Amino acid sequence: MPEQLVFTRILNHAFSAPADAVLRALHVNIADPAAPMSNAFAMELLVTVVLLVYFVVVRISLSVEKPNAVQHTAEYVHEFVSEQGESIIGHGFERFTGYLSVLVLFILVMNLIGLVPGLESPTSNVVVPLGLALVTFFYYHYEGIRSNGAGYIKQFLGPVWWLSPLLFVIEVISHCARVLSLTVRLYANMFAGDLVTLAFFSLIPIGVPLVFLGLHLVVSLVQAYVFMLLATIYLSLAVSHEH
C-alpha cells in the first residue's frame, strides 16, 4: 500500500464506508477497502474546498467602494484570462472566461500545494492531468458543435473533398494527440520537478535544493499558464468560422 498523507488518512478514516459504497455502485474494483481514496484524490478535494471557500469569500465581500485584497486577486485573474481570451479568441470570448479562469486557478493551486510540506501536488499523478485534459477535450468539441452546428465536421475534412478521407483520419489522431500532450506536459513537469529537488536533496541536503524548489515554483506558474493558453487556443480553433 502506498504511503498516505495525513490528510488522506483523515479522509479515509472518516469516509471510507460511503466512498466504498459509491465505488461498488460504479463497479470499480477496490484495491484496499480501508483506504479507497488516493493521495491525489484527497489533495484534489482539498484544493476544491480551498477554491470554493475563496470564491464564496470573494462573493460575500464584493464591494465597489472599498475592494479588499481578495477581490483584487479575483479581478486580476479575471482580467488576465479575459485579456488572453480577447487576443486569441477575439469576438465572443466572454462565454469561456469562466471555464478558463477555473482551469488556471485549479491547476495553479494544485501545482503550488506541492510546495507545502506534508502535502503533495495531485498533478504529479498522471490521472489528474488526464482528467483535466479530457474535460478540456470534450468542452472544446461541445463548444465547436454549438457554434458551428453540423458544419463543425468541415474542420476535420480539409480544403479539398478528395483528400478528406485521409485528412479526417489525420485530424482525429491529432485531436487525440492533444489530450496526450496536455496530460504528459503537465504531469511530467510536476513529477520531474519533485524528482529533481529530491535528487539534489539526497546529494547535498543543505541550501542547494532550495534553488530547485524556486525553479519548481516558476515551472508551476508557467505550466498552469500553458495549460490555460492551449485550452484557449483549442477553443478558438473549434469556434472559428472558416467558411
Partner 1 sequence: MKMMKYIFMTLAVLLIATPAFAQEAANASAKGMLYIGAGIGMALAAGLCGLAQGKATASAAEALARNPGARPGIFTFLILGLAFIESLALFTFVIIFIKLA
Per-residue contact string for residues 142-181; x = within reach of partner 1 by CB under 8 A:
---------------------------------------x
Number of residues near partner 1 (by CB under 8 A): 17
| CB 81, min distance to partner 1, A | 13
| CB 85, min distance to partner 1, A | 12
- Choose, by CB under 8 A, the member of 48, 73, 87, 240 that binds partner 1: 87
- Choose, by CB under 8 A, the member of 50, 51, 130, 230 that binds partner 1: 230
Binding of residue 200 to partner 1 (CB under 8 A): no
Secondary structure of the chain as H, E, C letters = CCCCCHHHHHHHHHHHHHHHHHHHHCCCCCCCCCCCCCHHHHHHHHHHHHHHHHHHHHHHCCCCCCCCHHHHHHHHHHHHHHHHHHHHCCCCHHHHHHHHHHHHHHHHHHHHHHHCCCCCCHHHCCHHHHHHHHHHHHHHHHHHHHHHHHHHHHHHHCCCHHHHHHHHHHHHHHHHHHHHHHHHHHHHHHHHHHHHHHHHHHHCCCCHHHHHHHHHHHHHHHHHHHHHHHHHHHHHHHHCCCC
Task: Name which of 88 and 153 has its Cβ closer to partner 1.
Answer: 88
Binding of residue 222 to partner 1 (CB under 8 A): yes
- Choose, by CB under 8 A, the member of 192, 210, 211, 215 that binds partner 1: 192
**Binding span for partner 1 by CB under 8 A among 21-29, 95-103, 167-175, 224-232:** 224-232
- Angstrom distance (rounded) from CA 120 to CA 42: 10
**Binding span for partner 1 by CB under 8 A among 7-15, 115-123, 163-171, 228-236:** 228-236
Q: Catalog residues that contact partner 1 under the rule CB under 8 A.
A: 84, 87-88, 181, 184-185, 187-189, 192, 222-223, 225-226, 229-230, 233
